[in-house]
Structure 1
Amino acid sequence: MTAKNEWPSSLDDHELDELDRYLRAHTGEGDLLLDGVHGLLSALAVGPLLVLPEEWLHEVLHEPFEDEDEGNRVLALLAKLNDSISAELDVDAYEPILGEVESEAGPVLSAAGWCEGFSRGIDLRAALWEGRLAEDPQLMELLGPVMALAVDEGILRADAEFEKLSDDEYDDCLGQVPAVLHAVNQYWQANPATEAEVEAMVRQQQPASESEAAPPRQRSGHWVH
């Protein structure tokens, strides 16, 4: 049992609402909302190498702050959200922040935004992830439920045709996300990136600014935690 003073300091509902409102008011088509930001930071938390804020903030913030106090507040909320992910994983308290979209049967949970953010987090260290996924089927297997959700939502393209997940299969994959992240985090700790892999990543990232950006994905909905 985790002592109360060791429990991670996560954003409360008021803080999540505050960050959600800011992002909705300052993002355009294809930009990440709160669920996507959580997915992005989750990928970075369990990934092979540290990614500093100056590397990921451009994925989240897209215009200058109009007010210094507001800017400091938003940055503080993002820092707290970022720090909480690893802390929550350490005590098995992690839950993905999901979107809620309207369907014919009413509002339903959607992992689309979270998966989009997670994929962008992987892209920030693409060479390391792609090289290891190609070489080690264990990592691919660990990521299976998240990849199934991403393929189902159209975030990832699959080489072969896949049937849409049933509602039960979708919910089962969602339920496995915390365990997947914990296992992937342990994988990279036990099998860290080699010097050769890091050098290859640096070479690959040098012209990254010249590459074409991925087409934006349009989506909507409310976050649910």
Structure 2
Amino acid sequence: MLPEQTRLLNEADILRLDQFLRSDACGKQAMGISFAHGFLSAIACGPEQLEPSEWLRLMFDEPVFDNGDQSNEMLGIAIRLFAEIERGLRRETEYRTLLENVQGNNGITYRDAQRWCLGFVEGLALFTELWTIDAKKTLQAPLELFFQLAEISGVPDSSYQRLCQSLPDAAEATFLYWRLERIKRN
């Protein structure tokens, strides 16, 4: 791991990456930060390791950088984000989902997991051919949670918020299952 990858991200890093992903510099299929976090989490959880070159192009959708410094900064933040996700899933640090905050008509702000779960589901789809019957059976509860919340736009009630709070455990269960499967194969 490169030394740069071990430096923790801060809120300013996340905001810069999100702004860049939403800018005209990226293609129309570029991901917002919540979607990208879910997508990268699924890749980190998956049955095979992917090289950064494989997921960066999907995340940014053919970006046009102003210069080399901007390229290094944005790609560096994305790689650090992935490394931070992996460390969290390995329980070296706390794993947290990066959900969107939405303000309801009543002025109350609440968490919305839909974009994150859509990203996670898209990341899982990269490994479709590797999902065995045993994997689907063992991971049925986490998979149902991801698919359920991908279908629902956030609502400000306590049961929805409890489902959002269970996402880190569901991602960790998926990660641990595939990690053990990779160990068995080697």
Q: TM-score, normalised by structure 1?
A: 0.69
TM superposition shift of 1:194 = 9.0
1:215 matched to which residue of 2?
none
1:22 matched to which residue of 2?
20
Give the CA RMSD over aligned residues: 2.6
Extract unaligned runs of 5+ from structure 2.
1-5
Number of aligned pairs?
176
- Could you report, residue by residue, the CA deviation over 1:49-105 in whole angstroms, capped at 9, with x for unpaired residues? 001112111221122212111001111101100100111222350111111233212
2:120 matched to which residue of 1?
118
- Richer in helix (by share): 2
- Could you report, residue by residue, the CA deviation over 1:192-219 in whole angstroms, capped at 9, with x for unpaired residues? 4998xxxxxxxxxxxxxxxxxxxxxxxx
8 Å CA contact 2:26, 2:64 repeated in 1: no
- Could you report, residue by residue, the CA deviation over 1:155-201 in whole angstroms, capped at 9, with x for unpaired residues? xxxxxxxxx98822211111111111111111112234998xxxxxx
1:37 matched to which residue of 2?
36
The letter of the residue matching 2:106 is A
Measured in 1, the distance between the counterparts of 2:22 and 2:114 equals: 16
Measured in 1, the distance between the counterparts of 2:42 and 2:27 equals: 22
The letter of the residue matching 1:95 is R
Measured in 2, the distance between the counterparts of 1:141 and 1:101 equals: 26
2:3 matched to which residue of 1?
none
1:173 matched to which residue of 2?
163
Measured in 1, the distance between the counterparts of 2:158 and 2:27 equals: 33
Name which one, 1 or 2, has greater alpha-carbon Rg.
1
Measured in 2, the distance between the counterparts of 1:59 and 1:171 equals: 29
Change (3 A) 1:136 1:121: closer
Measured in 2, the distance between the counterparts of 1:74 and 1:166 equals: 33
Extract unaligned runs of 5+ from structure 1.
1-7, 154-163, 196-225
Change (3 A) 1:87 1:27: same
Q: Which has the higher mean CA deviation after the structures are superposed, 67-76 or 138-147?
A: 138-147
Q: TM-score, normalised by structure 2?
A: 0.82
| Pick aligned residue for 2:172 from 182, 193, 202 | 182
1:91 matched to which residue of 2?
92
